[in-house]
Amino acid sequence: MEKFKYLVVEGIIGVGKTSLAEMLTKRLNAKRVLEVIEENPFLADFYKDMDAYAFQTQIFFLLSRHKQQIELKQMELFSTNLLSDYMFEKDKIFANLTLNETEISLYNKIFDILKKDILKPSLIIYLQVDPARALSRIKKRARPFEKNITLDYLKALNEAYNQFFFHYESSPLLIINVNEIDFINNEEDFHTILREIEKEEKGMRVFLPKSSKLLK
């Protein structure tokens, strides 16, 4: 898998993107770059009252993610394999979902300035999952700032992600539906994903794997 200079794993909250990124990092001998969500001081309040805290939350994320992306670009100069659990454009997905018309207008002006510095991924892996399954995983990991996340919010976020990637053409895209597999706890399922990633195909492709447990 040395061909992937900069690989990104994406998906809605609770899909397992950070876990997959960590597992792939070992295979790629890559520098892992994980989004530091907990550092956002507005996030807990945002999940309690989205209308009141959406703009502060989103601007903090935008600037934080941009700073991290600049660091990624500097790492790339030293020929380091990079692996991240988010792509910069995800910020705009969340912004369009939560900001009002006035806020999104200002946000877009800032985003358009910052996006010029962003490193283009070699491959994006978009993990799809049923929102109810994602919510179950969120409840199980019990992060305090996520306790007010609702199923309706995850459904809206899932739809926004699907719409975004349906039109995405900037990098090769692998869409994997993980409803029927458990790549975190089942090594065979992880290797199923790994083999699909290694195919090195251009454009967009969709993969619908079945759990190895169901095939026995």
Which tokens hold the place of 185? 């706890």
Whether 85 is catalytic: yes
Phi–psi pair at 54, nearest 5 degrees:
-65, -45
Cα end-to-end distance, the chain, whole Å: 28
What number of other Cβ atoms are within 10 A of residue 141's Cβ? 8
**Candidate list 85, 130, 182, 189, residue with the active-site label:** 85
Cite the active site residues.
Answer: 85
